[in-house]
Amino acid sequence: MGRWVRPEVYPLMAAMTFVSGMCIFSLTRHVLRDPDVRINKANRGTAILENEEEGEKYAQHGLRKFLRTRPPEVMPAINRFFSDTSHHE
C-alpha cells in the first residue's frame, strides 16, 4: 500500500476505520438487540410489543450502569486545575 497511499493519509485512514467500526457496531446492536426492531414476521404483525423487561434490559446495559457510578467529568484533573481559584491570585 506504500506505493499507492501517501504516509500523510494513514491517520485519516485510521480515524475513518475507527468511526466506520463504531457505526457498524451501533447498527448491528440496534438491529439485533433493540426490542423495537422487529425482523421476524410474528413480531411485525403487532403494533406495540408489551416487553417492558426487555426494553429496560436494553436501555440499562453494562456500560451505562458503570458510568452511573462515575462522576460526570471527562478530565477531572484538568477541571480541578482550572476551577481552583487559589492559584489565580
Read off the pLDDT of residues 31-42 as tens digits, 9 standing for 90 and up: 888 777 777 777
Q: Which residues of 10-48 are buried (b: 16+ CB within 10 A; e: fewer)?
A: eeeeeeeeeeeeeeeeeeeeeeeeebeeeeeeeeeeeee
pLDDT, residue 24, reads: 97
pLDDT, residue 54, reads: 74
Q: How far apart are the first and last CA of the chain?
A: 56
Q: How far apart are CA 31 and CA 58, in angstroms?
A: 12
pLDDT, residue 43, reads: 65
Q: Where are the domains of the chain?
A: 1-33, 48-89
CB-facing half-sphere around the CA of 26: CA atoms within 13 A: 6
The predicted model gives 58-84 an average pLDDT of: 83
User: How much is the pTM?
Assistant: 0.51
